Amino acid sequence: MRKHKIYKISPAIYMGIVILSGCSNRNNNLTKPIDSPNKVISHEEATPIPITVTPAPVLNDLSPNKPEENDELTPIQEETSTEEVNEHLCSENEEVLFSFAIANSKKTASICISTNQQDAYIVYRFGTKDKIELVYPENTENSWDAFTYSYYMRGGGAGNEGLDLNYLEFENGGYVYKLYEEYSSESKETRVGILVTNRETGEETVIEGDSNSRTGSLIDLRDNDRINIIPQ
């Protein structure tokens, strides 16, 4: 009968073997893929993964179809003037020929005429009483030659769709400005505003005015022999 040798193992070495054996089994379980068919995780054992939901930022509506407030409206060619003027943008030695507020805005467009007959001039201003953004012409000498007035009339009242159309035009900085005052007998309404045309590209911008704020009339230019008049 074969005799076996019996080795004595100290308690410290025995504990080390047990610990290493346990680590080996644990590592085998950790290397097993999550979707292993041999591993079934119960609802009680499963730990949900926390999900942080960040709300989408709120953006301003930048749709090109949504009009901006006209309070930010500026003329095509912006200039500034510190000249003191009244609510119609005319100075103390001028009188208003034609003036109206821009629709949905605090700004005004005005045509003023000097009250001095010996030094008579005409001038266009755009802006507010506290800030004039555009003055034309800058030099009032020969100012009448810088403007062209045109009009068209069709009588007969509403039955004939009568019209009274008036336009004052000037050019500045590559843009043509046409102030309009249009009356229709059929609708009994008057439209006012400014049509701005890029001379190079032909692109047009309409600045609508508030007809209820209208003061004066371009019609008064029909009898003025200082300005260029083009009947239509």
Q: Is residue 50 part of a domain?
A: no
Q: Is residue 147 part of a domain?
A: yes
Residue 115 has, within 13 A of its CA and on its CB side, a CA count of 7
CB 122 within 8 A of CB 227: yes
Q: Is residue 226 part of a domain?
A: yes
pTM confidence score: 0.65
Domain count, the chain: 1
Q: Is residue 64 part of a domain?
A: no
Q: What integer pLDDT is reported at residue 82 of this predicted model?
A: 60
Q: What integer pLDDT is reported at residue 14 of this predicted model?
A: 44
Is-cis flag, bond preceding 137, omega within 30?
Answer: yes
Local structure of residue 214 (DSSP, 8 states): E
Q: Is residue 38 part of a domain?
A: no
- Average pLDDT for runs of 10 along the chain of length 232: 48 46 45 42 45 41 38 51 84 97 98 92 97 95 97 87 95 98 95 98 98 98 94 74
In terms of residue numbers, what domain contains 125?
Answer: 70-231
Q: Is residue 6 part of a domain?
A: no
Strand partners, 166: 151, 181
Amino acid type, 69: E
Q: Is residue 80 part of a domain?
A: yes
What is the rounded end-to-end Cα distance, in angstroms, of the chain? Answer: 139
Q: Is residue 220 part of a domain?
A: yes
| Residue where the block lists tokens 């005319």 | 90
DSSP-assigned states of every residue in 85-124 = --TTS--TTEEEEEEEEETTSS-EEEEEEES-GGG--EEE
Euclidean distance between CA atoms 196 and 177, whole angstroms: 5
